[in-house]
Amino acid sequence: MNEIINIQGIECYEKDGTAYLKLDTVAR
């Protein structure tokens, strides 16, 4: 299960110990 986190108002998800930006959020 990936943990959804929020960094400075940007939604990200954590996978394998690395935080990735959600592409759908960045595209907006």
pLDDT of the residue at 18? 72
Q: How many domains does the chain have?
A: 1
4 contacts: CB under 8 Å, gap ≥ 6: 11, 12, 13
Q: Which structural domain, as residue segments, surrounds residue 20?
A: 1-28
pLDDT of the residue at 10? 67
Tell whether pTM > 0.85: no
pLDDT of the residue at 15? 72
pLDDT digits (tens, 9 = 90+) for 1-28: 567 666 666 666 777 777 666 666 555 5
For 25, phi then psi, to 5°, come to -80, -40
pLDDT of the residue at 2? 61
